[in-house]
């Protein structure tokens, strides 16, 4: 049988283990497990298979997370942030919950799309590092593996972003850094407050190259 979604979380220890076990975790805190809001939450869970969903109606769990009304909360590892969606507003449905999760699900490496762009802009990260590359390239799996490994080293400091040149919506981003397809893969780092930036074209993406590039920019 497939894993039950959402997972029922009956105590604080279960909830903490659930959150710490994933890059992005979503918990629905509900007073009543069979409420209309909870059923919309279950519907949302079915739509986003790659994100773990938990559900709790335990007063101890709700109190531990400071929740008083029906709330959907997204926990993300990349910056130890949580985002709350208050469900007491009657028009919150699966559509709105899905959008809330898609916007806020920043990861160690977040793929840049028109929806995640909103979350990237709203994030507390000032430094953004972009790997601009072609996801259809045979070298891509090795590139992303090294990039993710480097992202671990800067967790909480730099938001690592993947920009696939095959997405039409990413053309503006690529041209913003004055890059052409022949120069890829490339790293682009951007400091949001003062818009300072730097670009490095690469023959290969390695943890050392990424680390050196980030450190020299920070210094």
Structure tokens given for 69: 């009304």
pLDDT of residue 5: 83
191-200: pLDDT as tens digits: 988 999 999 9
Mean pLDDT of 46-73: 95
148-198: pLDDT as tens digits: 999 999 999 999 999 999 999 999 999 999 999 899 999 999 998 899 999
pLDDT of residue 4: 66
Give 7-104's CATH code, choosing from 3.40.50.10190, 3.30.70.1520, 3.50.50.60, 3.40.30.10.
Answer: 3.40.30.10
Residue 76 gets which letter from DSSP? E
Structure tokens given for 66: 């400071």
| Cβ atoms 75, 92 nearer than 8 A | no
pLDDT exceeds 70 at position 1:
no
**Partners of 197 in the β-ladder:** 190
- What pTM does this model have? 0.88
Outline which parts of the chain fall under CATH 3.40.30.10: 7-104, 109-218
| Fold of the 109-218 domain | Glutaredoxin (3.40.30)
User: How many whole angstroms separate alpha carbon 103 and alpha carbon 81?
Assistant: 14
User: How many whole angstroms separate alpha carbon 79 and alpha carbon 123?
Assistant: 9
């Amino acid at each position: 049988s497939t894993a039950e979604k959402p997972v029922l979380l009956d105590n604080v220890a279960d909830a903490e283990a659930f959150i710490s076990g994933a890059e992005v975790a979503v918990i629905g805190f509900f007073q009543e497990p069979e409420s209309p809001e909870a059923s919309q939450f279950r519907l949302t869970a079915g739509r986003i298979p790659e994100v773990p969903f938990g559900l709790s109606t335990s007063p101890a769990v709700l109190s531990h997370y400071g929740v008083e009304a029906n709330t959907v909360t997204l926990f993300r590892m990349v910056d130890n942030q949580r985002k709350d969606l208050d469900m007491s507003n009657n028009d919150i449905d699966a559509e709105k919950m899905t959008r809330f999760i898609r916007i806020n699900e920043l990861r160690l490496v977040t793929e840049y799309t028109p929806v995640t762009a909103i979350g990237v802009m709203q994030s507390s990260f000032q430094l953004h590092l972009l790997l601009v590359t072609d996801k259809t390239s045979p070298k891509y799996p090795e590139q992303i593996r090294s990039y993710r490994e480097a992202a671990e080293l800067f967790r909480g400091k730099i938001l690592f972003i993947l920009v696939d040149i095959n997405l039409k919506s990413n053309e503006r981003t690529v041209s913003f850094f004055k890059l052409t397809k022949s120069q890829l893969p490339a790293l682009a780092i951007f400091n949001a407050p003062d818009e300072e930036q730097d670009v490095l074209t690469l023959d290969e993406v390695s943890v050392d190259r990424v680390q050196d590039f980030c450190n020299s920019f920070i210094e």
